[in-house]
Amino acid sequence: MNEDQVKKLIEQQLTEFWQKQYSVIEQTDIVPRTIKPRHIETVFGSMYATNASITITVAASDTAYEVTSGLTSGGQLDGISFGDSHYLETNYGGKFLIVWSMAIETGTANQDIEGGIMVNGTAIEIGTGHTSSATANKAHTIAGSLIQDLSANDQVSLYVRNQTLATDILVEHANLTLCRVGR
């Protein structure tokens, strides 16, 4: 092969590489000036609890308590693992849309209850939900959503917090869904 043939072969291989990996908006010579990813690898997962009656023992008010049992894999897992009956673990990092909900109740009236997600056991203070229960033993729905940067092997779970008293919380239903929306 002469030098021109080698250059042409390299240019062809580079062009094929860029076309497979990216949508080329503007190309000058071999290197594209503006590129955008053709796709983001789909990563998603969910878990839920239905009629679960999961009792969360609250020893101190205004403390986040992880929901540590009673959940089931939603069966829809791709790039995410379900672990220990209570968390979703990411196999890949990126920006994730996280959507969650819980139906909760307390045995005491006039309680302010908050819920949200934990990442690796730490409560995330954005995307939280709140309810005030005027009546004891009546279910209330709390929910939230957020976009959160997660790393590979991060564990995402649910939490509840009784902001009023150290009164136990009953989780009747719960849902948690993760979907990667960016890298």
pLDDT given for residue 24 in this prediction: 47
Report the CATH number that the domain containing residue 154 is assigned in CATH. 2.60.120.40
Q: How far apart are CA 109 and CA 46, in angstroms?
A: 32
- Residue 19 structural domain: 3-37
Same domain, 33 and 7: yes
**What is the pLDDT, as a whole number, of residue 13?**
73
**Does residue 171 contact residue 122 with C-beta atoms inside 8 Å?**
no
Q: Are residues 13 and 78 in the same domain?
A: no
My answer on whether 79 and 22 are in the same domain is no
pLDDT of residue 38: 47
Low-confidence ranges of the chain (pLDDT < 70): 14-40
Q: What is the number of structural domains in the chain? A: 2
Residue 120 sits in the same domain as residue 140: yes
* Residue 74 sits in the same domain as residue 152: yes
What contacts 172, CB < 8 A, 6 or more positions away?
49, 51, 52, 53, 54, 103, 104, 105, 139
Q: For residue 75, what pLDDT is reported?
A: 78
Per-residue pLDDT, 22: 54
Kind and range of the H or E run holding 7: helix 3-21
pTM, to two decimals: 0.79
